[in-house]
């Protein structure tokens, strides 16, 4: 790739990772990007670096604009290794006068064994730094995505460099949101939110309020992953507001694993009942669907219905995987239901219910179990459960 000027004398100098398919458990089936930005002013400033294997691309991009040795300042918005993974090499190369980071950023860098004698300069929300004609303001965004995270805002250019927030894992040759398919872009952004930020939704709400209070004029948002929002940055801000309020629709997600297709038959019969109630219904067999794709659909689903056969007095392992993952991401205000077939003990439904209760879902049923294979009457009970959940979905959100 080559550097791209995103604002006057501000450049994207990051890297595109076309081949990554697993980002610590998130399926990045279309790759990702590690965005870094170079501000060329009296004080030349690099904002963030890239994952370590991509450092040559970063250096090559910077070198097409300035000699990296001429960089004065390094801003570390976030210490996770997909952004700080090349800091050591970049510090050796550029010998920055100062490294700006949050207090937690410095603490985290030291815990990652970065040298204590780096020229750290700890900054706080509201603090400003003149670079010459331009300046930068820092906004701490604790837990978005780590305790150390912060944004860097360039008021002269109405540019918000937003670290992990507002990003997508999507490798593209294009750099701007208005150059790609809008629907696909928003789908990647939703997946990113559902799998990375959903649990921090209360903090996202606070951040959006803080940004409003700070009265920042923003006409471009440049995240550290994916596309830069220049066409209509309000669209992603509105989406984050909706997602962080956990607004759901008339939609149900059925997730199941099955040994000999009995639980699968139950899943399909429940879906039949939901669809008869005009509920948009998505059905996922855990054997063929990645957890991060399911979580994306959970983002705006009102009901989460989970089915598993009983194996060794427990649920099937893939059901434990998705429930553990989902619980960590903290979806709230959902309707839940558990179902499954069993042979002689039938503990799976009870174990699923424990997860649903821990997530404070409203249970539509104490659990629907059938022994061995479902009869016509059993399938009717499943369809009835689907219809009942459909009615609940259409009812008031408690
Ligand atoms: Fe893209 Fe939290 O790192």
- The predicted pLDDT at position 396 comes to 79
Q: What is the pLDDT of residue 211?
A: 85
**Domain end marker among 244, 262, 280:** 244
d(CA 329, CA 326): 5
Domain boundary among 244, 276, 309: 244
Q: To the nearest whole percent, how much of the chain has pLDDT over 70?
A: 99
- Ligand 1 atom nearest to CA at 145: 2
Alpha helices in 135-248 (DSSP H): 182-192, 201-213, 233-244
Is the same domain home to 320 and 214? no
**Segment 150-170 mean pLDDT:** 97
Nearest CA to 268 out of 249, 281, 250 is that of: 281
Residues 57-75 have pLDDT tens digits of: 999 999 999 999 999 999 9
Distance, CA of 269 to CA of 381 (rounded, Å): 9
Q: What is the pLDDT of residue 213?
A: 86
- Residues with a catalytic annotation lie at 24, 78, 80, 82, 145, 164, 192, 225
Residues 93 and 125 in one domain: yes
CATH of residue 265's domain is 3.40.50.360
Domains identified in the chain, total number: 2
Whether residue 318 sits in one domain with residue 215: no
pLDDT beyond 70 at 398: no
Domain that holds residue 46: 4-244
> Within this chain, do residues 228 and 263 fall inside the same structural domain, yes or no?
no
Pocket of ligand 1, beta carbon within 6 A? 78, 80, 82-83, 145-146, 164, 224-225
Which residue's C-alpha comes closest to atom 1 of ligand 1? 164
CATH code at 105? 3.60.15.10
Q: How far is the CA of 197 from the centre of ligand 1 (A)?
A: 11
pLDDT in tens, 197-250: 999 999 999 999 988 888 889 999 999 999 999 978 999 999 999 999 999 999
CA distance 97 to 45: 10
Give the ligand 1 atom nearest the CA of 167. 1
- Report which DSSP code applies to 182: H
Q: What is the pTM of this model?
A: 0.96
Exposed/middle/buried for residue 70 (C-beta within 10 Å: 0-12, 13-18, 19+): exposed
């Amino acid at each position: 790739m080559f550097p791209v000027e995103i604002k006057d004398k501000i450049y994207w100098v990051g890297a595109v990772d076309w081949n990554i398919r697993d980002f610590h458990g998130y399926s990045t089936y279309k790759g990702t990007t590690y965005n870094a930005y170079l501000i060329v002013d009296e004080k030349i400033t690099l904002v963030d670096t890239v994952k370590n294997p991509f450092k040559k691309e970063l250096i090559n991009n910077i070198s097409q604009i300035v000699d990296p040795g001429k960089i004065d300042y390094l801003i570390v918005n976030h210490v996770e290794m997909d952004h700080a993974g090349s800091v050591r090499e970049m510090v050796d190369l550029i010998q920055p006068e100062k490294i700006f980071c949050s207090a937690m950023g410095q603490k985290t860098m030291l815990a990652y064994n970065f040298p204590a004698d780096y020229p750290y300069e700890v900054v706080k929300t509201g603090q400003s730094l003149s670079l010459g004609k331009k300046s930068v303001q820092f906004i701490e965004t604790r837990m978005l995505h780590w305790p150390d995270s912060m944004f860097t805002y360039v008021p002269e250019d109405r540019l918000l460099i937003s670290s992990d927030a507002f990003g997508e894992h999507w490798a593209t040759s294009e750099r701007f949101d208005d150059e790609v398919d809008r629907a696909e872009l928003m789908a990647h952004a939703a997946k990113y939110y559902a799998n990375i930020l959903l649990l921090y939704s209360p903090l996202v709400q606070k951040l959006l309020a803080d940004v409003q209070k700070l009265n920042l004029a923003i006409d471009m948002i440049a995240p550290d992953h994916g596309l830069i929002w220049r066409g209509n940055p309000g669209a992603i801000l509105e989406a984050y507001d909706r997602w962080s309020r956990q607004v759901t629709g008339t939609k149900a997600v059925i997730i199941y694993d099955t040994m000999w297709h009995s639980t699968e038959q139950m899943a399909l019969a429940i879906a039949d009942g939901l669809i008869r109630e005009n509920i948009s219904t998505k059905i996922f067999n855990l054997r063929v669907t990645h957890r991060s794709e399911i979580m994306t659909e959970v983002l705006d689903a009102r009901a989460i219905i989970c089915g598993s056969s009983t194996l060794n007095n427990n649920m099937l392992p893939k059901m434990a995987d998705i429930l553990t993952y989902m619980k960590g991401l903290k979806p709230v205000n959902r309707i839940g239901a558990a179902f499954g077939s069993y042979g002689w003990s039938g503990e799976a439904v009870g174990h699923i219910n424990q997860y649903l209760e821990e997530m404070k879902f409203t249970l539509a049923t104490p659990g629907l179990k059938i022994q061995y294979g479902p009869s016509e009457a059993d399938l009717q009970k499943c369809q009835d459960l689907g219809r009942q959940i459909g009615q609940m979905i259409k009812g008031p959100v408690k």
